[in-house]
Amino acid sequence: MTEPDIGSDPVHLKMRFKKKGNSYILTGTKYLISNAGIATDIIVFAHDSNKRISAFIINAEDDKILKEDMVAKMGMHTTNTGMFELKNLEIPKHNLLGKYGDGWNIA
């Protein structure tokens, strides 16, 4: 859930999604994510143009996801922490976790 500049405040999420046929397009950055560098799947929260939050399951090994491990941190040096960026990442509609707009309840 955590993003640069807003932390973990779901009301101000900057990651967005839009529906396109039988898929969703996601754009945004997640930051300070535990196990981001070693995860094979991730759950991402994003909002649509009406500010409804939905959750999505994403294959973290997709070549279109830009990932970076964060090694310079104050504490928990042995815990993998990272960030990832989605730039118009297209995922199938069945990757929606729960119902459309139900991300707030899932979080």
pTM, 2 dp: 0.82
Alpha carbon distance 101, 73 (integer Å): 34
Exposure b/e, 54-72, CB count within 10 A at least 16 = b: bbbebebeeeebebeeeee
**Rounded-to-integer distance, Cα 63 and Cα 30, Å:** 16
Which residues lie closer than 8 Å to 95 by C-beta, 6 or more apart? 24, 56, 57, 58
Q: Residues 17-32: pLDDT tens digits?
A: 999 999 999 999 776 7
Distance between CA atoms of 18 and 16, rounded to whole angstroms? 7
pLDDT at 90: 96
pLDDT tens digits along 63-91: 888 776 666 666 666 676 777 888 999 99
Q: pLDDT band for 52, please (50, 70, 90 cuts).
A: very high
Contact 22, 93 (CB under 8 A): yes
Residue 107 confidence (pLDDT)? 81
